[in-house]
Amino acid sequence: MSALTSTVIDPGGYELPASHKRALRWMLYIGYAALTAGVFHGLANALSYAQIDIIGTFPGLRSYYQGLTAHGVANVLIFTFSFSNGFLPLMTARALSRPLDGRVLWASFATLVIGNVLTIYAVVSNRASVLFTAYAPLQAHWTFYIGLALVVVSTWLALLAMLVVLRQWRRENRGARIPLLAFVSVASYLMWFLASLPIAVSFLGILTPWTLGLTDKVDPLLTRTLFWFTGHAIVYAWLLPAYVSWYALIPRQVGGALISDSYARVTFILFLLLSIPTGFHHQYTDPGIPTGMKVMHGVLTFGVFFPSLATAFSVMAALEIGGRRAGGRGLLGWIRKLPWGDPSVAAQLLAMLVFVLGGATGLVNASYTMNQFIHNTTWVPGHFHMTVGTAVALTLMGVAYWLIPYLTGRALFSRKMALASSWIYTIGVLIFARGMISAGLEGMPRRIFRAQASYNNPSWDLGGMLTGIGGTLMFVAVMLFFLVVGLTIFAGRKGEGPADVPVSQTLTAPSRVGWELTLDRLGLWVIVAIALIAVAYGPFLLTYDVVPVSGPFRAF
Protein backbone atom coordinates (compact mmCIF):
# COMPACT_ATOMS: atom_id res chain seq x y z
CA MET A 1 0.00 0.00 0.00
CA SER A 2 2.92 2.37 0.67
CA ALA A 3 3.83 2.07 -3.02
CA LEU A 4 0.39 3.43 -3.83
CA THR A 5 1.02 6.59 -1.88
CA SER A 6 4.59 7.50 -2.83
CA THR A 7 4.11 9.37 -6.07
CA VAL A 8 6.14 11.64 -8.31
CA ILE A 9 4.18 14.85 -8.59
CA ASP A 10 4.27 17.18 -11.56
CA PRO A 11 5.27 20.72 -10.42
CA GLY A 12 2.35 22.21 -12.39
CA GLY A 13 1.21 25.76 -12.67
CA TYR A 14 2.65 26.78 -16.06
CA GLU A 15 0.34 29.16 -17.95
CA LEU A 16 0.67 29.34 -21.75
CA PRO A 17 0.71 32.79 -23.45
CA ALA A 18 -2.83 33.88 -24.39
CA SER A 19 -2.14 34.05 -28.15
CA HIS A 20 -0.82 30.46 -28.13
CA LYS A 21 -3.89 29.32 -26.26
CA ARG A 22 -5.99 31.03 -28.91
CA ALA A 23 -4.24 29.24 -31.81
CA LEU A 24 -4.52 25.88 -30.06
CA ARG A 25 -8.14 26.50 -29.15
CA TRP A 26 -9.10 27.30 -32.73
CA MET A 27 -7.44 24.14 -34.02
CA LEU A 28 -9.53 22.18 -31.54
CA TYR A 29 -12.67 24.04 -32.60
CA ILE A 30 -12.00 23.12 -36.24
CA GLY A 31 -11.66 19.50 -35.16
CA TYR A 32 -14.85 19.37 -33.15
CA ALA A 33 -16.76 21.23 -35.89
CA ALA A 34 -15.53 18.61 -38.40
CA LEU A 35 -16.73 15.83 -36.09
CA THR A 36 -20.17 17.39 -35.92
CA ALA A 37 -20.42 18.09 -39.66
CA GLY A 38 -19.27 14.58 -40.52
CA VAL A 39 -21.85 12.76 -38.40
CA PHE A 40 -24.75 14.11 -40.48
CA HIS A 41 -23.42 11.98 -43.33
CA GLY A 42 -22.72 9.20 -40.85
CA LEU A 43 -26.41 9.17 -39.94
CA ALA A 44 -27.41 8.99 -43.60
CA ASN A 45 -24.99 6.10 -44.22
CA ALA A 46 -26.18 4.16 -41.17
CA LEU A 47 -29.83 4.61 -42.10
CA SER A 48 -29.14 3.48 -45.65
CA TYR A 49 -28.07 0.09 -44.23
CA ALA A 50 -31.52 -0.06 -42.66
CA GLN A 51 -32.89 0.73 -46.14
CA ILE A 52 -33.97 4.23 -45.18
CA ASP A 53 -32.87 6.85 -47.67
CA ILE A 54 -32.41 10.37 -46.30
CA ILE A 55 -29.58 11.25 -48.65
CA GLY A 56 -31.97 13.23 -50.85
CA THR A 57 -32.66 15.61 -47.94
CA PHE A 58 -29.07 16.92 -47.98
CA PRO A 59 -29.03 20.05 -50.14
CA GLY A 60 -26.51 19.78 -52.96
CA LEU A 61 -25.53 16.19 -52.23
CA ARG A 62 -25.31 14.24 -55.47
CA SER A 63 -24.51 10.72 -54.42
CA TYR A 64 -24.09 8.32 -51.52
CA TYR A 65 -20.37 8.24 -52.27
CA GLN A 66 -20.07 12.01 -52.02
CA GLY A 67 -21.63 11.77 -48.54
CA LEU A 68 -19.43 8.81 -47.58
CA THR A 69 -16.34 10.75 -48.66
CA ALA A 70 -17.47 13.77 -46.63
CA HIS A 71 -18.09 11.53 -43.60
CA GLY A 72 -14.70 9.82 -43.77
CA VAL A 73 -12.67 12.93 -44.55
CA ALA A 74 -14.35 15.07 -41.88
CA ASN A 75 -14.38 12.46 -39.13
CA VAL A 76 -11.15 10.53 -39.52
CA LEU A 77 -8.88 13.07 -41.20
CA ILE A 78 -9.92 16.60 -40.26
CA PHE A 79 -11.33 15.96 -36.77
CA THR A 80 -8.45 13.82 -35.58
CA PHE A 81 -5.55 15.87 -36.94
CA SER A 82 -7.03 19.27 -36.05
CA PHE A 83 -7.45 17.98 -32.51
CA SER A 84 -3.91 16.61 -32.37
CA ASN A 85 -2.44 19.83 -33.79
CA GLY A 86 -3.98 21.68 -30.87
CA PHE A 87 -3.62 19.06 -28.16
CA LEU A 88 -0.11 17.63 -28.57
CA PRO A 89 1.80 20.96 -28.74
CA LEU A 90 -0.25 22.18 -25.78
CA MET A 91 0.69 19.10 -23.74
CA THR A 92 4.36 19.48 -24.72
CA ALA A 93 4.55 23.15 -23.76
CA ARG A 94 2.73 22.53 -20.51
CA ALA A 95 4.94 19.57 -19.58
CA LEU A 96 8.14 21.48 -20.35
CA SER A 97 6.81 24.72 -18.81
CA ARG A 98 8.00 26.69 -21.84
CA PRO A 99 6.19 28.68 -24.54
CA LEU A 100 5.97 27.29 -28.07
CA ASP A 101 7.33 29.19 -31.05
CA GLY A 102 4.33 31.38 -31.87
CA ARG A 103 5.21 31.79 -35.57
CA VAL A 104 5.40 28.04 -36.17
CA LEU A 105 2.18 27.51 -34.25
CA TRP A 106 0.26 30.08 -36.26
CA ALA A 107 1.82 28.75 -39.49
CA SER A 108 0.46 25.32 -38.57
CA PHE A 109 -2.95 26.86 -37.96
CA ALA A 110 -2.95 28.80 -41.25
CA THR A 111 -1.88 25.71 -43.23
CA LEU A 112 -4.59 23.66 -41.57
CA VAL A 113 -7.23 26.25 -42.49
CA ILE A 114 -6.12 26.58 -46.14
CA GLY A 115 -5.90 22.78 -46.45
CA ASN A 116 -9.39 22.47 -45.05
CA VAL A 117 -10.87 25.08 -47.36
CA LEU A 118 -9.44 23.35 -50.45
CA THR A 119 -10.54 19.89 -49.30
CA ILE A 120 -14.04 21.05 -48.39
CA TYR A 121 -14.37 22.78 -51.76
CA ALA A 122 -13.40 19.56 -53.57
CA VAL A 123 -15.78 17.37 -51.59
CA VAL A 124 -18.76 19.74 -51.46
CA SER A 125 -18.60 20.41 -55.19
CA ASN A 126 -18.57 16.64 -55.86
CA ARG A 127 -15.14 16.82 -57.46
CA ALA A 128 -13.62 14.31 -55.05
CA SER A 129 -16.02 11.45 -54.36
CA VAL A 130 -13.11 9.05 -53.95
CA LEU A 131 -13.67 8.17 -50.27
CA PHE A 132 -11.11 8.82 -47.56
CA THR A 133 -8.96 6.00 -48.92
CA ALA A 134 -7.83 8.12 -51.85
CA TYR A 135 -5.88 6.12 -54.44
CA ALA A 136 -6.08 5.38 -58.16
CA PRO A 137 -7.98 4.58 -60.31
CA LEU A 138 -10.60 6.90 -58.75
CA GLN A 139 -9.50 10.43 -59.44
CA ALA A 140 -10.23 13.61 -57.47
CA HIS A 141 -9.82 17.28 -58.27
CA TRP A 142 -6.36 18.72 -57.54
CA THR A 143 -7.79 20.79 -54.65
CA PHE A 144 -8.50 17.53 -52.79
CA TYR A 145 -4.93 16.22 -53.01
CA ILE A 146 -3.30 19.60 -52.34
CA GLY A 147 -5.80 20.35 -49.56
CA LEU A 148 -5.11 17.10 -47.74
CA ALA A 149 -1.37 17.47 -48.34
CA LEU A 150 -1.58 20.86 -46.62
CA VAL A 151 -3.39 19.28 -43.69
CA VAL A 152 -0.46 16.87 -43.47
CA VAL A 153 2.00 19.78 -43.66
CA SER A 154 0.14 21.46 -40.79
CA THR A 155 0.83 18.36 -38.66
CA TRP A 156 4.54 18.58 -39.56
CA LEU A 157 4.53 22.23 -38.44
CA ALA A 158 2.85 21.25 -35.18
CA LEU A 159 5.62 18.67 -34.70
CA LEU A 160 8.22 21.31 -35.49
CA ALA A 161 6.74 23.55 -32.79
CA MET A 162 7.12 20.68 -30.32
CA LEU A 163 10.65 19.81 -31.40
CA VAL A 164 11.81 23.43 -31.12
CA VAL A 165 10.54 23.77 -27.57
CA LEU A 166 11.95 20.35 -26.65
CA ARG A 167 15.36 21.32 -27.97
CA GLN A 168 15.37 24.55 -25.99
CA TRP A 169 14.33 22.67 -22.88
CA ARG A 170 17.05 20.04 -23.34
CA ARG A 171 19.73 22.72 -23.71
CA GLU A 172 18.69 24.21 -20.40
CA ASN A 173 18.20 20.88 -18.63
CA ARG A 174 21.17 18.80 -19.68
CA GLY A 175 21.00 15.24 -18.39
CA ALA A 176 17.40 15.61 -17.17
CA ARG A 177 14.73 13.11 -18.26
CA ILE A 178 12.09 14.45 -20.63
CA PRO A 179 8.85 14.82 -18.68
CA LEU A 180 6.58 11.91 -19.61
CA LEU A 181 3.73 14.04 -20.95
CA ALA A 182 6.11 15.79 -23.38
CA PHE A 183 7.79 12.50 -24.32
CA VAL A 184 4.57 10.73 -25.28
CA SER A 185 3.24 13.76 -27.16
CA VAL A 186 6.39 14.20 -29.24
CA ALA A 187 6.78 10.44 -29.87
CA SER A 188 3.21 10.31 -31.21
CA TYR A 189 3.79 12.96 -33.85
CA LEU A 190 7.29 11.66 -34.70
CA MET A 191 5.72 8.34 -35.64
CA TRP A 192 3.12 10.16 -37.73
CA PHE A 193 5.78 12.27 -39.46
CA LEU A 194 7.58 9.13 -40.71
CA ALA A 195 4.29 7.51 -41.64
CA SER A 196 2.95 10.47 -43.55
CA LEU A 197 5.81 10.87 -46.05
CA PRO A 198 4.53 8.28 -48.60
CA ILE A 199 1.04 9.75 -48.77
CA ALA A 200 2.57 13.17 -49.39
CA VAL A 201 4.64 11.62 -52.21
CA SER A 202 1.56 9.90 -53.64
CA PHE A 203 -0.71 12.97 -53.45
CA LEU A 204 1.83 15.54 -54.64
CA GLY A 205 4.13 13.46 -56.85
CA ILE A 206 1.70 11.04 -58.54
CA LEU A 207 -1.97 11.95 -58.16
CA THR A 208 -1.75 15.74 -58.55
CA PRO A 209 0.20 15.61 -61.87
CA TRP A 210 -2.30 12.94 -63.02
CA THR A 211 -5.36 15.01 -62.18
CA LEU A 212 -3.80 18.11 -63.78
CA GLY A 213 -3.32 16.12 -66.99
CA LEU A 214 0.49 16.26 -66.79
CA THR A 215 0.59 12.45 -66.85
CA ASP A 216 -1.93 10.20 -68.61
CA LYS A 217 -1.79 7.05 -66.55
CA VAL A 218 -0.70 5.89 -63.13
CA ASP A 219 -0.06 2.55 -61.45
CA PRO A 220 -3.03 1.82 -59.11
CA LEU A 221 -1.16 -0.79 -57.05
CA LEU A 222 1.65 1.67 -56.37
CA THR A 223 -0.77 4.38 -55.20
CA ARG A 224 -2.63 1.82 -53.06
CA THR A 225 0.61 0.66 -51.51
CA LEU A 226 1.77 4.21 -50.75
CA PHE A 227 -1.67 4.97 -49.32
CA TRP A 228 -1.62 1.96 -46.98
CA PHE A 229 2.01 2.61 -46.01
CA THR A 230 0.62 5.73 -44.38
CA GLY A 231 -2.87 4.33 -44.00
CA HIS A 232 -2.29 1.77 -41.31
CA ALA A 233 0.05 3.91 -39.27
CA ILE A 234 -2.55 6.66 -39.53
CA VAL A 235 -4.83 4.64 -37.22
CA TYR A 236 -2.16 4.82 -34.52
CA ALA A 237 -1.70 8.53 -35.23
CA TRP A 238 -5.40 8.82 -34.35
CA LEU A 239 -5.06 6.52 -31.37
CA LEU A 240 -1.91 7.89 -29.73
CA PRO A 241 -3.35 11.28 -28.70
CA ALA A 242 -6.06 9.26 -26.92
CA TYR A 243 -3.30 7.16 -25.30
CA VAL A 244 -1.55 10.40 -24.24
CA SER A 245 -4.70 11.12 -22.26
CA TRP A 246 -5.08 7.55 -20.93
CA TYR A 247 -1.46 7.40 -19.75
CA ALA A 248 -0.61 10.93 -18.78
CA LEU A 249 -3.91 12.55 -17.74
CA ILE A 250 -6.62 10.04 -16.81
CA PRO A 251 -4.71 8.54 -13.85
CA ARG A 252 -4.70 12.01 -12.27
CA GLN A 253 -8.36 12.59 -13.14
CA VAL A 254 -9.40 9.42 -11.28
CA GLY A 255 -7.13 10.11 -8.30
CA GLY A 256 -4.79 7.24 -9.24
CA ALA A 257 -1.24 7.14 -10.50
CA LEU A 258 0.65 5.64 -13.39
CA ILE A 259 2.45 2.50 -12.28
CA SER A 260 5.65 3.00 -14.24
CA ASP A 261 7.16 5.82 -16.20
CA SER A 262 9.46 3.55 -18.22
CA TYR A 263 6.63 1.18 -19.09
CA ALA A 264 4.75 4.09 -20.69
CA ARG A 265 7.82 5.22 -22.64
CA VAL A 266 8.51 1.70 -23.90
CA THR A 267 4.90 1.44 -25.11
CA PHE A 268 5.15 4.63 -27.14
CA ILE A 269 8.53 3.58 -28.55
CA LEU A 270 6.97 0.29 -29.67
CA PHE A 271 4.31 2.27 -31.52
CA LEU A 272 7.01 4.39 -33.14
CA LEU A 273 8.76 1.21 -34.33
CA LEU A 274 5.84 -1.05 -35.23
CA SER A 275 2.99 1.15 -36.45
CA ILE A 276 4.36 1.61 -39.96
CA PRO A 277 5.71 -1.73 -41.26
CA THR A 278 2.24 -3.30 -41.21
CA GLY A 279 0.41 -1.68 -44.13
CA PHE A 280 0.13 -4.81 -46.30
CA HIS A 281 -2.47 -6.22 -43.92
CA HIS A 282 -4.88 -3.90 -45.76
CA GLN A 283 -3.74 -5.50 -49.00
CA TYR A 284 -3.89 -9.22 -48.18
CA THR A 285 -6.25 -9.66 -51.13
CA ASP A 286 -4.29 -7.47 -53.57
CA PRO A 287 -2.56 -9.32 -56.39
CA GLY A 288 1.00 -8.26 -57.20
CA ILE A 289 2.39 -8.26 -53.67
CA PRO A 290 4.51 -11.32 -52.80
CA THR A 291 2.88 -13.55 -50.17
CA GLY A 292 6.07 -13.47 -48.08
CA MET A 293 5.78 -9.69 -47.73
CA LYS A 294 2.15 -10.01 -46.67
CA VAL A 295 3.06 -12.62 -44.09
CA MET A 296 5.83 -10.40 -42.69
CA HIS A 297 3.40 -7.50 -42.31
CA GLY A 298 0.88 -9.90 -40.77
CA VAL A 299 3.39 -10.99 -38.14
CA LEU A 300 4.35 -7.38 -37.40
CA THR A 301 0.65 -6.54 -37.05
CA PHE A 302 0.49 -9.03 -34.20
CA GLY A 303 3.55 -7.18 -32.88
CA VAL A 304 1.79 -3.82 -32.87
CA PHE A 305 -1.15 -5.45 -31.08
CA PHE A 306 1.18 -5.91 -28.10
CA PRO A 307 1.67 -2.26 -26.98
CA SER A 308 -2.12 -1.86 -26.86
CA LEU A 309 -2.36 -4.99 -24.75
CA ALA A 310 0.33 -3.52 -22.50
CA THR A 311 -1.68 -0.29 -22.37
CA ALA A 312 -4.72 -2.18 -21.14
CA PHE A 313 -2.72 -3.52 -18.16
CA SER A 314 -1.06 -0.22 -17.33
CA VAL A 315 -4.17 1.92 -17.61
CA MET A 316 -6.24 -0.61 -15.68
CA ALA A 317 -3.65 -0.57 -12.87
CA ALA A 318 -3.70 3.24 -12.75
CA LEU A 319 -7.49 3.19 -12.56
CA GLU A 320 -7.44 0.54 -9.86
CA ILE A 321 -5.13 2.67 -7.73
CA GLY A 322 -7.62 5.54 -8.06
CA GLY A 323 -10.59 3.32 -7.25
CA ARG A 324 -8.88 1.81 -4.20
CA ARG A 325 -7.75 5.21 -2.93
CA ALA A 326 -11.42 6.22 -3.11
CA GLY A 327 -12.34 3.29 -0.87
CA GLY A 328 -12.98 0.52 -3.40
CA ARG A 329 -12.65 -2.98 -1.93
CA GLY A 330 -12.61 -6.53 -3.26
CA LEU A 331 -11.69 -7.76 -6.68
CA LEU A 332 -13.81 -5.34 -8.68
CA GLY A 333 -15.25 -2.96 -6.06
CA TRP A 334 -12.80 -0.24 -7.13
CA ILE A 335 -14.57 0.10 -10.49
CA ARG A 336 -17.70 1.53 -8.85
CA LYS A 337 -15.56 4.00 -6.91
CA LEU A 338 -14.14 5.58 -10.04
CA PRO A 339 -15.51 9.10 -10.64
CA TRP A 340 -18.21 8.05 -13.11
CA GLY A 341 -20.02 11.34 -12.46
CA ASP A 342 -17.15 13.28 -14.06
CA PRO A 343 -18.14 13.45 -17.75
CA SER A 344 -14.53 13.64 -18.92
CA VAL A 345 -13.65 10.46 -17.03
CA ALA A 346 -16.86 8.60 -17.88
CA ALA A 347 -16.45 9.25 -21.62
CA GLN A 348 -12.91 7.92 -21.58
CA LEU A 349 -13.69 4.86 -19.45
CA LEU A 350 -16.50 3.96 -21.83
CA ALA A 351 -14.15 4.51 -24.78
CA MET A 352 -11.67 2.06 -23.22
CA LEU A 353 -14.32 -0.57 -22.63
CA VAL A 354 -15.49 -0.41 -26.24
CA PHE A 355 -11.87 -0.57 -27.41
CA VAL A 356 -11.54 -4.03 -25.89
CA LEU A 357 -14.03 -5.21 -28.53
CA GLY A 358 -12.43 -3.04 -31.21
CA GLY A 359 -9.05 -4.63 -30.46
CA ALA A 360 -10.46 -8.16 -30.55
CA THR A 361 -11.98 -7.57 -33.99
CA GLY A 362 -8.59 -6.19 -35.11
CA LEU A 363 -7.05 -9.57 -34.34
CA VAL A 364 -9.49 -11.23 -36.71
CA ASN A 365 -8.66 -8.69 -39.42
CA ALA A 366 -4.96 -9.27 -38.95
CA SER A 367 -5.19 -13.05 -39.36
CA TYR A 368 -4.30 -13.77 -42.97
CA THR A 369 -6.90 -16.48 -43.44
CA MET A 370 -9.75 -15.00 -41.41
CA ASN A 371 -9.28 -11.70 -43.20
CA GLN A 372 -10.54 -13.40 -46.40
CA PHE A 373 -13.97 -13.76 -44.77
CA ILE A 374 -14.38 -10.21 -43.57
CA HIS A 375 -12.43 -8.08 -46.04
CA ASN A 376 -14.67 -5.51 -47.75
CA THR A 377 -17.67 -6.57 -45.67
CA THR A 378 -19.40 -4.38 -43.07
CA TRP A 379 -17.36 -6.22 -40.43
CA VAL A 380 -14.56 -3.72 -41.19
CA PRO A 381 -16.59 -0.55 -40.43
CA GLY A 382 -17.88 -2.47 -37.38
CA HIS A 383 -14.25 -2.80 -36.29
CA PHE A 384 -13.25 0.75 -36.95
CA HIS A 385 -16.24 2.39 -35.33
CA MET A 386 -15.15 0.69 -32.10
CA THR A 387 -11.57 1.88 -32.59
CA VAL A 388 -11.31 5.28 -34.23
CA GLY A 389 -15.07 5.82 -33.92
CA THR A 390 -15.10 5.26 -30.16
CA ALA A 391 -11.73 4.61 -28.51
CA VAL A 392 -10.50 7.76 -30.23
CA ALA A 393 -13.61 9.89 -30.87
CA LEU A 394 -15.21 9.35 -27.46
CA THR A 395 -11.88 9.94 -25.72
CA LEU A 396 -11.39 13.20 -27.59
CA MET A 397 -14.94 14.20 -26.63
CA GLY A 398 -14.12 13.35 -23.02
CA VAL A 399 -10.95 15.44 -23.18
CA ALA A 400 -13.03 18.39 -24.46
CA TYR A 401 -14.99 18.41 -21.20
CA TRP A 402 -11.95 19.69 -19.30
CA LEU A 403 -9.87 21.11 -22.15
CA ILE A 404 -12.43 23.58 -23.54
CA PRO A 405 -13.14 24.96 -20.02
CA TYR A 406 -9.35 25.15 -19.44
CA LEU A 407 -8.73 27.05 -22.67
CA THR A 408 -11.75 29.35 -22.44
CA GLY A 409 -11.79 29.85 -18.67
CA ARG A 410 -15.51 28.98 -18.69
CA ALA A 411 -17.21 26.20 -16.70
CA LEU A 412 -18.56 23.17 -18.56
CA PHE A 413 -22.13 24.10 -19.44
CA SER A 414 -23.91 20.93 -18.34
CA ARG A 415 -22.32 17.88 -16.75
CA LYS A 416 -25.56 15.94 -17.07
CA MET A 417 -25.88 16.57 -20.78
CA ALA A 418 -22.23 15.63 -21.26
CA LEU A 419 -22.72 12.39 -19.33
CA ALA A 420 -25.87 11.59 -21.29
CA SER A 421 -23.98 12.14 -24.53
CA SER A 422 -21.25 9.63 -23.57
CA TRP A 423 -23.68 6.92 -22.47
CA ILE A 424 -25.94 7.35 -25.49
CA TYR A 425 -22.89 7.21 -27.75
CA THR A 426 -21.64 4.02 -26.13
CA ILE A 427 -24.99 2.26 -26.28
CA GLY A 428 -25.35 3.48 -29.86
CA VAL A 429 -21.98 2.23 -31.04
CA LEU A 430 -22.47 -1.18 -29.43
CA ILE A 431 -25.77 -1.63 -31.27
CA PHE A 432 -24.27 -0.22 -34.47
CA ALA A 433 -21.21 -2.45 -34.34
CA ARG A 434 -23.28 -5.51 -33.47
CA GLY A 435 -25.27 -4.83 -36.64
CA MET A 436 -22.26 -4.24 -38.86
CA ILE A 437 -20.26 -7.17 -37.48
CA SER A 438 -23.04 -9.74 -37.78
CA ALA A 439 -24.17 -8.57 -41.21
CA GLY A 440 -20.52 -8.58 -42.29
CA LEU A 441 -20.27 -12.22 -41.28
CA GLU A 442 -23.30 -12.82 -43.51
CA GLY A 443 -21.33 -11.22 -46.34
CA MET A 444 -22.94 -7.77 -46.46
CA PRO A 445 -20.50 -5.62 -48.47
CA ARG A 446 -19.28 -2.34 -47.03
CA ARG A 447 -19.62 0.90 -48.97
CA ILE A 448 -22.86 0.00 -50.71
CA PHE A 449 -25.91 2.24 -50.87
CA ARG A 450 -28.17 -0.43 -49.50
CA ALA A 451 -31.26 1.79 -49.51
CA GLN A 452 -31.26 1.57 -53.30
CA ALA A 453 -29.22 -1.55 -53.98
CA SER A 454 -30.63 -3.74 -56.74
CA TYR A 455 -29.36 -6.86 -54.96
CA ASN A 456 -30.07 -7.77 -51.39
CA ASN A 457 -30.10 -10.58 -48.92
CA PRO A 458 -32.69 -11.03 -46.18
CA SER A 459 -29.98 -12.27 -43.80
CA TRP A 460 -28.62 -8.69 -43.78
CA ASP A 461 -31.89 -7.19 -42.57
CA LEU A 462 -31.33 -7.52 -38.82
CA GLY A 463 -27.74 -6.26 -39.04
CA GLY A 464 -28.83 -3.39 -41.27
CA MET A 465 -31.60 -2.40 -38.88
CA LEU A 466 -29.28 -2.46 -35.84
CA THR A 467 -26.78 -0.36 -37.78
CA GLY A 468 -29.50 2.22 -38.45
CA ILE A 469 -30.67 2.30 -34.81
CA GLY A 470 -27.15 2.46 -33.39
CA GLY A 471 -26.05 5.10 -35.87
CA THR A 472 -29.04 7.26 -34.97
CA LEU A 473 -28.13 7.08 -31.26
CA MET A 474 -24.51 7.99 -32.05
CA PHE A 475 -25.74 10.96 -34.06
CA VAL A 476 -27.95 12.16 -31.19
CA ALA A 477 -24.99 11.81 -28.80
CA VAL A 478 -22.69 13.93 -30.97
CA MET A 479 -25.41 16.58 -31.28
CA LEU A 480 -25.59 16.69 -27.48
CA PHE A 481 -21.81 16.93 -27.33
CA PHE A 482 -21.82 19.80 -29.81
CA LEU A 483 -24.48 21.57 -27.75
CA VAL A 484 -22.47 21.18 -24.54
CA VAL A 485 -19.27 22.45 -26.16
CA GLY A 486 -21.05 25.32 -27.94
CA LEU A 487 -22.89 26.41 -24.81
CA THR A 488 -19.69 26.14 -22.76
CA ILE A 489 -17.89 28.46 -25.18
CA PHE A 490 -20.69 31.01 -25.36
CA ALA A 491 -22.57 30.67 -22.10
CA GLY A 492 -20.36 28.81 -19.60
CA ARG A 493 -19.83 30.64 -16.31
CA LYS A 494 -16.77 32.86 -16.71
CA GLY A 495 -13.67 32.39 -14.58
CA GLU A 496 -14.60 28.83 -13.59
CA GLY A 497 -12.51 26.71 -15.94
CA PRO A 498 -9.84 24.44 -14.45
CA ALA A 499 -6.60 26.29 -13.73
CA ASP A 500 -4.27 23.59 -14.98
CA VAL A 501 -3.86 20.48 -17.11
CA PRO A 502 -4.48 17.31 -15.02
CA VAL A 503 -1.00 15.81 -15.38
CA SER A 504 -0.67 12.24 -14.05
CA GLN A 505 1.42 11.30 -11.08
CA THR A 506 3.71 8.28 -11.36
CA LEU A 507 4.52 5.78 -8.63
CA THR A 508 8.26 5.94 -9.25
CA ALA A 509 10.48 8.70 -10.60
CA PRO A 510 12.11 8.14 -14.01
CA SER A 511 15.54 6.64 -13.47
CA ARG A 512 18.60 8.90 -13.87
CA VAL A 513 21.01 6.02 -14.56
CA GLY A 514 21.16 2.82 -16.58
CA TRP A 515 19.36 1.56 -19.67
CA GLU A 516 16.28 3.66 -19.08
CA LEU A 517 18.16 6.76 -20.23
CA THR A 518 18.22 5.25 -23.72
CA LEU A 519 14.45 5.52 -23.81
CA ASP A 520 14.70 9.31 -24.15
CA ARG A 521 16.91 9.09 -27.24
CA LEU A 522 14.11 9.80 -29.66
CA GLY A 523 16.52 10.32 -32.57
CA LEU A 524 17.87 6.80 -32.09
CA TRP A 525 14.36 5.31 -32.09
CA VAL A 526 13.52 7.17 -35.27
CA ILE A 527 16.58 5.58 -36.93
CA VAL A 528 15.54 2.10 -35.73
CA ALA A 529 12.03 2.76 -37.05
CA ILE A 530 13.42 3.75 -40.46
CA ALA A 531 15.53 0.56 -40.52
CA LEU A 532 12.45 -1.57 -39.79
CA ILE A 533 10.48 0.21 -42.50
CA ALA A 534 13.34 -0.44 -44.93
CA VAL A 535 13.19 -4.17 -44.13
CA ALA A 536 9.40 -4.31 -44.40
CA TYR A 537 8.92 -2.21 -47.54
CA GLY A 538 12.38 -2.08 -49.15
CA PRO A 539 12.31 -5.44 -50.99
CA PHE A 540 8.91 -4.69 -52.49
CA LEU A 541 9.54 -1.08 -53.48
CA LEU A 542 13.03 -1.73 -54.86
CA THR A 543 11.96 -4.60 -57.09
CA TYR A 544 8.55 -3.31 -58.09
CA ASP A 545 8.03 -2.64 -61.81
CA VAL A 546 5.89 0.45 -62.07
CA VAL A 547 3.23 -0.14 -64.73
CA PRO A 548 1.19 2.99 -65.41
CA VAL A 549 -1.96 1.41 -66.78
CA SER A 550 -4.81 3.37 -65.30
CA GLY A 551 -6.52 6.39 -66.72
CA PRO A 552 -8.80 8.45 -64.49
CA PHE A 553 -12.17 7.20 -63.25
CA ARG A 554 -14.72 9.63 -61.87
CA ALA A 555 -17.44 7.16 -61.05
CA PHE A 556 -19.86 9.14 -58.91
Known catalytic residues?
Answer: 232, 236, 383-385, 446-447
Nearer to ligand HAS, 38 or 359 (CB): 359
| Pairwise CA distance, residues 68 & 44, whole Å | 9
Residue nearest to ligand HAS (CB): 359
Measured from the CB atom, the residue of 110 and 353 that comes closer to ligand HAS is 353
Q: Strands, DSSP E only, in 146-189?
A: none
Smallest gap from residue 224 Cβ to ligand HAS (A): 11
Across-strand partners of 553? 138
* Contact present, 93 and 20 (Cβ < 8 Å): yes
**Which residues make up the interface to ligand HAS (CB under 6 A)?**
133, 235, 238-239, 281-282, 301, 304-305, 308-309, 311-312, 315-316, 319, 335, 349, 352-353, 355-356, 359, 362-363, 365-366, 371, 375, 380, 383-384, 387-388, 392
Cβ-based nearer residue to ligand HAS, 127 or 385? 385
Minimal distance, residue 309 CB to ligand HAS, in Å: 5
The DSSP bridge partners found for residue 410 are 494
Please return the burial class of 313, using the count of CB atoms within 10 Å of its CB with bins 0-12, 13-18 and 19+. exposed
CB of 12 to ligand HAS, least distance (A): 25
Cβ proximity to ligand HAS, 296 vs 380, nearer residue: 380
How many Cβ atoms sit within 10 Å of the Cβ of residue 311? 24
Classified as helix, coil or strand, 276 is coil
The radius of gyration computed from the CA coordinates of the chain, to the nearest angstrom, equals 23
d(C-alpha 409, C-alpha 403), whole Å: 10
Residue 514: Cβ-neighbour burial (10 angstroms; 0-12, 13-18, 19+) = exposed
Comparing CA positions, the residue from 86, 88, 10, 74 lying closest to residue 37 is 74
Least distance (Å) between residue 495 CB and ligand HAS = 33
Nearest Cα residue to 207 out of 103, 312, 137: 137
With beta carbons less than 8 A apart as the criterion, state whether 181 and 91 touch: yes
Q: Which is nearer to ligand HAS, 32 or 238 (CB)?
A: 238
Round to whole Å and give the CA distance between 376 and 366.
14
Q: Which is closer to ligand HAS, CB of 355 or CB of 540?
A: 355
Instruction: Decide: 351 and 391 in contact? Cβ < 8 Å.
Output: yes
Q: How far is the CB of 282 from ligand HAS (least distance, A)?
A: 5
Q: Shortest Cβ distance from residue 180 to ligand HAS (Å)?
A: 18
